[in-house]
Structure 1
Amino acid sequence: MHGYSSSEESEDPKRPKAAPSSSSTSNDQKKKKKKKPPPQATINRIWKKLQASQPTIPLAVLPAVEECRRKVRKIIKECRRVNTRYRDPGWDLDWDLKMEKGNCLNYLGHETYEVGYPPSSSANLPKAVKRVHEIFENPTFMKSVSSSEIVQGSIGNCWAVAALSALADVKDGIQQLCVEYDTRVGIYGFVFYRDGEWVYSIIDDKLYLKSPNWDCPSLQRQLLTQIDREDIELHYRKTYQTGSKALFFGKNKDQNETWLPLLEKAYAKAHGDYASLIGGWIGEGLEDMTGGVTTELLASDILDTDAFWDDELSKVNKEFMFGCSTGLLDGGYGSRDGITERHAYGVMDARTLKSGQRLVKLRNPWGKARKGVWEGAWGDGSKEWTTDVQQELGHQFGNDSVFWISYEDLLSKYQHFDRTRLFRENDWGCCQRWIGVDVPWKASYHEKFHIKLTKDSPLVLVLSQLDRRYFKGLEGQYNFRLQFRVHEQGHLGAEDYIVRSHGNYLMTRSVSIEIPDMPAGNYTVYILVTAERNTDKPSVDEVVKRECKKRVENEKLAQVGYAYDLAHSKAHHHIEKVREMRKTANQNKASGCRMSERRKQWERRRAERTIKRKQLDKNEAKKARLLAERDAAHRKTVEEHNEAEAQTSEDASSSSDDQEEQPAKAVVTKTEETVPAAAAQATPTEEKSTDNAEPAASKEEDQPSTDKPATFEAKKGEGSSALPLGA
């Protein structure tokens, strides 16, 4: 960087900076387009501002209770020190309504309540927010807890209110949900069961009201201003903004009781908003408030109705809790002898009269007189009721939406039952494991869990998926249905299962089976996940892109996104483990591919070397063969030459013998004719050395035979002129 390092610059701040080069100056003058971060990076930055700690997963209610108590007590101490009531900064109903955000009312991407301030008098949405001490004259909290006190508000959460109605008849059922509170400071801490763990929800005491404040224009104010009264504003507040009747959402019948609206608010905050509570199954509500396990039952599927009565329904509020509904599969919103279709009812009691008549006590969470209640036999005012029966059951006709129905009519009129097993005994043990599963296009069973039972015992198995209600708006396009089957280890055939679950028609959040007596041993669980796509709904990516295009600090997206992350973090360790395993497998596969490629290259080089070696050997063999052939030819030539030379010598010797018989003159004459001039010149010498001729001849005979090639070569070079010399 301009000739010096950044570390040197930081060590000596007084050191003058080097002048930038001309090239860097020209580059700086060219403004580069800033690269936009991806939507996920923006979301991550927002989430880090909201929450710094990593999500944790307590496996029991105790950690959540202790943490909730610790936080509530700390806030109480802080508020008393500064003399203020508690105001929830992360879920302030008043601020959210006046700023027209609607984050506490609507889920992501949907406006169930079109928030505006001041609100329209005709709109069906909350008009104002006040604290408990401003609404109730003598507020009480959990002074009277009973199912008859519960009234559903202006929201379609009958499933949750019906679950509370059923839980209210269980001893300390409601009280166990609120673990710490202070009515003066206005803070309440509740716990709920979410995705296999207990979580806490801390709220202040602000509640939504039906009517706007006096300072806002409204029809009620216009009517009251026509009355000549001095305390008209006080009269308005007492008429429209005082007591349980003034609340917009759920309420108690007691005009000073506050536990239901506060519990409902804490439940809504845990889900992110009130609109997320619209629509559901009573079994899910019972699970969220008890930690139990719910099984979906259809009345037509019950094999032995007497056994169902004796073993299950008669144990309501002890070992089981029940909810029921009808018309869900028929698509109707009508009434069946007073029973409202597609509406949740809580089972309060099951009794057998002295006469043997079996009756079931139900309650409509609406809490309204003569609306949505059974009008047939054993309904309020029917001819079946006698004074003795009323005394035996302790029933009084009234307007609390409670009614009795015979067991036979119950199975005839109600189609759908949610049975929730309670684990209130201390001898129950619980363990769980969250994993991530790849869902193929063609669903099939996969081995995923292993169970070891050390002794014979009853066994309840539950296969669950994440509750998408907690991140509504980011659930995506796919719905998943679950099934599983249990095999004994070593018997893993498709038809060798011990027991299997049956897919739910309606409540798809989980499936379960209950085995009364499971032998000790090792078992394997195979799961089946089926995906159903709804193309009318936006995908998660599309929702994120849509929200990021708004160019605003989207608090709702951050809140729902964090809930989405928190939910999916449950399988974080398993997913990371699977990712590491896949990474290792991919690395091994890549290493194997590299090894295979190197082996192929080595084999190819080896083959090339082998071919080259063979070719060299072939060439060497050919060369040796050629040399051998040439040597053989040479030897043959030499032999032929030797033979020819020998023949020539013989011919020469025979010729010399013939010449000795002729006169000497003839020999000399012959020599003169054939010998060149040099030979002629040597004649005198020969004549002179006649006396020495014989020693020379003997000397030549004594020379070794190696001179023959030289003689041959000389012969080859000089022609036939050497023959006379040799002679």
Structure 2
Amino acid sequence: MPYTFRNSSPRAPPAPQSASATHSTGQTYKELKLECQQRGTLFEDCDFPANDASLFYSEKPPVPFVWKRPGEIVKDPQFILGGATRTDICQGELGDCWLLAAIASLTLNESTLARVVPLDQDFGPGYAGIFHFQFWQHNEWLDIVVDDRLPTFKDRLVFLHSADHNEFWSALLEKAYAKLNGSYEALKGGSTIEAMEDFTGGVGEMFEVKKAPENFYDILKKALKRGSMVGCSIDTSSAAESEARTPYGLIKGHAYSVTGIDEVDYQGRKVKLIRVRNPWGQVEWNGPWSDNSHEWRSVSPSEKKRLYQTALDDGEFWMKFDDFQSHFDKVEICNLTPDALEDNAAHKWEVIVHQGSWVRGATAGGCRNFIETFWTNPQIKLQLTEKDDGQNECTFIAALMQKDRRKLRKQGAEMLTIGYAIYESPSNDEQLTKDFFRYHASKARSKTYINLREVSDRFALPPGDYVVVPTTFEPHQEADFCLRIFSEKKAVAKEMDGNVDIDLPEVCHHI
């Protein structure tokens, strides 16, 4: 597999026309649409047909779903009605709240939304039953076309839908994302950060709320102000607890999006508030500062208006920041650029991208516990050359992503447990040997080995030569990966030389 290194600033997403066409015919959205217009036909997508295989791979639909175009469901379908907003996202019969929480965050940033959901689409003149959306995958933007046949039951959309029954952008976006991943079922269960990254090409950071830094409120405020996407959730202690409701109206094991943060004047003092949204479009927090709570009676009408405080059962609610910290467990932030969250300076970061593979018998060495094979993993040399301003160290984020695991689910693939270690390097360019790793400790490593799509951590190390070793936890596990290194100052990376040739005993191997 060719390795690519690109240096660029990830601040601005590329212009929409730079997304790669993905349809099996080789045609672009415009070409496919024009062909349908000239023939006077409505587009039917041969790559994602309107049948059960596009819905599920391990089960049959619980009831007979009927695929219908929006014009067959309602009289006057609209793509976007009154702007794309958070209330357009109501969860259907699919466990993809993680995706919906990310879509809700997406609507908060106009330019990010317009990148994912090209806005020059509608059901008006020139309508040809074809729509397109753009997603980031492993360092490139892809343009995904879909026809507008959607699964229905009794003339209602089965999956994601808008609170307005004649608005269809969110249902079509979910369909395009299902196509990208192979089926609707492939979207069951996930981490909000995964979809956030696919919508932005940004880099994610996870916070344990109970261990969050003292300035966590400011971190979140700054992240939202900068257009970062923010999700939150409450842990479950067992599978039985999933989607269990707490006495305060919050749902365990469920992905919410953070949509606002502010301070309000209350009885002569400032109170820190945070606004959270349930992608179900209903079921809200019922504690202090909830929609109908008495606290709002002491707030001026102008303050209420400024905070868009309404008592609608729309799934969105304010709560006191202290209550948020005591009730929620995890916060995921996807930085559109990985600007330092610790201080107020906006930085342009350099990004280096390395595409690689773990191949059984060659480069799938497993973690450091497996010293006999660990040295065979891909080794990426990283030169940190310039210190941060006013510091003696170089700050960088290393983000390791395993590719296409959701798409491969129907073949039985699961997310692998992945992580990485970073070693100070001798100054030559040769592959580090087994003995090197036996006698040298790592200088830094991912906080954990975990079965998430991406593991990312922030580091500060002195200038020098380092080697990043991305690995699966167990040896002999095969996957493609993408390693991104975001550095505050210029950094250089390259593949280490040296062929690895080892004999491995045959073992039973299951994906």
TM-score (normalizing by structure 2)? 0.76
Give the equivalent residue in structure 2 for 1:197: 140
Mapping of residues 50-449 of structure 1, within 5 Å: 65=19, 67=21, 71-93=28-50, 96=51, 102-107=52-57, 110-111=58-59, 114-115=60-61, 124-125=62-63, 127-143=65-81, 144-179=83-118, 181=121, 183=123, 184-211=127-154, 241=155, 246-302=156-212, 304-305=213-214, 307-316=215-224, 318=226, 320-331=228-239, 332-333=241-242, 334-336=244-246, 337-354=248-265, 355-368=269-282, 371=283, 373-386=284-297, 387-388=299-300, 389-423=303-337, 427-437=348-358, 438-440=364-366, 442-443=369-370, 446=375, 448-449=379-380
Give the equivalent residue in structure 2 for 1:33: none
Per-residue CA deviations over 1:240-286 (Å, capped at 9, x if unaligned) read: x3xxxx11111111222110011010000111110010111111111
Distance verdict in 2 for CA 1:376–1:494, change over 3 Å: farther
SS in structure 2 opposite 1:384? helix
Mapping of residues 604-615 of structure 1, within 5 Å: none
Task: Give yes or no for contact 2:68–2:151 (8 Å, CA) kept in 1.
Answer: yes
SS in structure 1 opposite 2:198? helix
Q: How far apart are the structure 2 equivalents of 1:404 and 1:569?
A: 39
Task: Give yes or no for contact 2:421–2:445 (8 Å, CA) kept in 1.
Answer: yes
Task: Give yes or no for contact 1:468–1:475 (8 Å, CA) kept in 2.
Answer: no
Task: Give yes or no for contact 2:2–2:355 (8 Å, CA) kept in 1.
Answer: no
Q: How far apart are the structure 1 equivalents of 2:415 and 2:42?
A: 44
SS in structure 2 opposite 1:251? coil
SS in structure 2 opposite 1:418? strand
Q: How far apart are the structure 1 equivalents of 2:349 and 2:475?
A: 35
Distance verdict in 2 for CA 1:580–1:186, change over 3 Å: farther
SS in structure 1 opposite 2:235? coil
Q: How far apart are the structure 2 equivalents of 1:488 and 1:300?
A: 36
Where does structure 2 lack aligned partners over 5 or more consecutive residues? 7-12, 339-345, 359-363, 389-394, 428-435, 484-494, 504-511
Q: Which sits farther off after the overlay, 483-492 or 344-353?
A: 483-492
Q: Taking every aligned residue pair, what percent have the same amino acid on both sides?
A: 25
Letter in 1 for 2:499: M
Give the equivalent residue in structure 1 for 2:342: none
Task: Give yes or no for contact 2:370–2:475 (8 Å, CA) kept in 1.
Answer: no
TM-score (normalizing by structure 1)? 0.54
Task: Give yes or no for contact 1:480–1:532 (8 Å, CA) kept in 2.
Answer: no
Give the Å deviation of 1:58.
11
SS in structure 1 opposite 2:325? helix
Give the Å deviation of 1:525.
1.9
Task: Give yes or no for contact 1:481–1:529 (8 Å, CA) kept in 2.
Answer: yes
> Which has the larger Rg?
1
Give the Å deviation of 1:174.
2.2
Q: How far apart are the structure 2 equivalents of 1:187 and 1:470?
A: 23
Distance verdict in 2 for CA 1:478–1:276, change over 3 Å: closer
Q: How far apart are the structure 1 equivalents of 2:254 and 2:145?
A: 30
Per-residue CA deviations over 1:575-614 (Å, capped at 9, x if unaligned) read: xx9999357x99xxxxxxxxxxxxxxxxxxxxxxxxxxxx
Q: Establish whether residue 463 from structure 1 lines up as the match of residue 408 from structure 2.
A: no
Per-residue CA deviations over 1:137-156 (Å, capped at 9, x if unaligned) read: 22222342111221111111
Distance verdict in 2 for CA 1:365–1:205, change over 3 Å: same
Give the Å deviation of 1:511.
1.3
Higher strand content, 1 or 2:
2
SS in structure 1 opposite 2:417? strand
Q: What is the number of residues matched between the two proteins?
A: 436
Task: Give yes or no for contact 2:234–2:253 (8 Å, CA) kept in 1.
Answer: yes
SS in structure 2 opposite 1:451? strand
Per-residue CA deviations over 1:108-133 (Å, capped at 9, x if unaligned) read: xx11xx25xxxxxxxx3452111122
Distance verdict in 2 for CA 1:198–1:578, change over 3 Å: same
SS in structure 2 opposite 1:104? helix
Distance verdict in 2 for CA 1:312–1:569, change over 3 Å: closer
Q: Establish whether residue 474 from structure 1 lines up as the match of residue 411 from structure 2.
A: yes
Distance verdict in 2 for CA 1:254–1:182, change over 3 Å: closer
Distance verdict in 2 for CA 1:508–1:377, change over 3 Å: same
Give the Å deviation of 1:439.
3.1
Give the Å deviation of 1:431.
2.1
Letter in 1 for 2:252: E
Q: Which sits farther off after the overlay, 467-476 or 58-67?
A: 58-67
Q: How far apart are the structure 2 equivalents of 1:263 and 1:430?
A: 28
Q: How far apart are the structure 2 equivalents of 1:322 and 1:292?
A: 12
Q: Establish whether residue 508 from structure 1 lines up as the match of residue 452 from structure 2.
A: yes
Root-mean-square deviation (CA), in Å?
3.6
Q: How far apart are the structure 2 equivalents of 1:280 and 1:467?
A: 13
Q: How far apart are the structure 1 equivalents of 2:142 and 2:280?
A: 28
SS in structure 2 opposite 1:297? strand
Task: Give yes or no for contact 1:348–1:361 (8 Å, CA) kept in 2.
Answer: yes
Q: How far apart are the structure 1 equivalents of 2:365 and 2:3?
A: 26
Q: How far apart are the structure 2 equivalents of 1:253 and 1:363?
A: 14
Task: Give yes or no for contact 1:448–1:527 (8 Å, CA) kept in 2.
Answer: yes
1:522 to 453, 460, 465: 465
Give the equivalent residue in structure 2 for 1:484: 421
Q: How far apart are the structure 2 equivalents of 1:381 and 1:362?
A: 15
Letter in 1 for 2:322: E
Q: How far apart are the structure 1 equivalents of 2:408 and 2:234?
A: 28
Give the Å deviation of 1:199.
2.3
Task: Give yes or no for contact 2:405–2:414 (8 Å, CA) kept in 1.
Answer: no
Letter in 2 for 1:309: Y
Where does structure 1 lack aligned partners over 5 or more consecutive residues? 1-53, 97-101, 116-123, 212-240, 534-538, 541-566, 572-576, 587-727
Q: Which sits farther off after the overlay, 405-414 or 63-72?
A: 63-72
Task: Give yes or no for contact 1:478–1:532 (8 Å, CA) kept in 2.
Answer: no
Per-residue CA deviations over 1:35-87 (Å, capped at 9, x if unaligned) read: xxxxxxxxxxxxxxxxxxx9999988567526369611111221122111111
Q: Which sits farther off after the overlay, 265-274 or 61-70?
A: 61-70
Q: How far apart are the structure 2 equivalents of 1:479 and 1:363?
A: 31
Q: How far apart are the structure 2 equivalents of 1:315 and 1:580?
A: 42
Give the Å deviation of 1:295.
2.1
Letter in 2 for 1:88: D
Per-residue CA deviations over 1:280-339 (Å, capped at 9, x if unaligned) read: 11111111111111222212322x33x122234443252532211113345413222110
Task: Give yes or no for contact 2:289–2:319 (8 Å, CA) kept in 1.
Answer: yes
Q: How far apart are the structure 1 equivalents of 2:140 and 2:286?
A: 41
SS in structure 2 opposite 1:76? helix
Letter in 2 for 1:188: F
Task: Give yes or no for contact 1:58–1:197 (8 Å, CA) kept in 2.
Answer: no
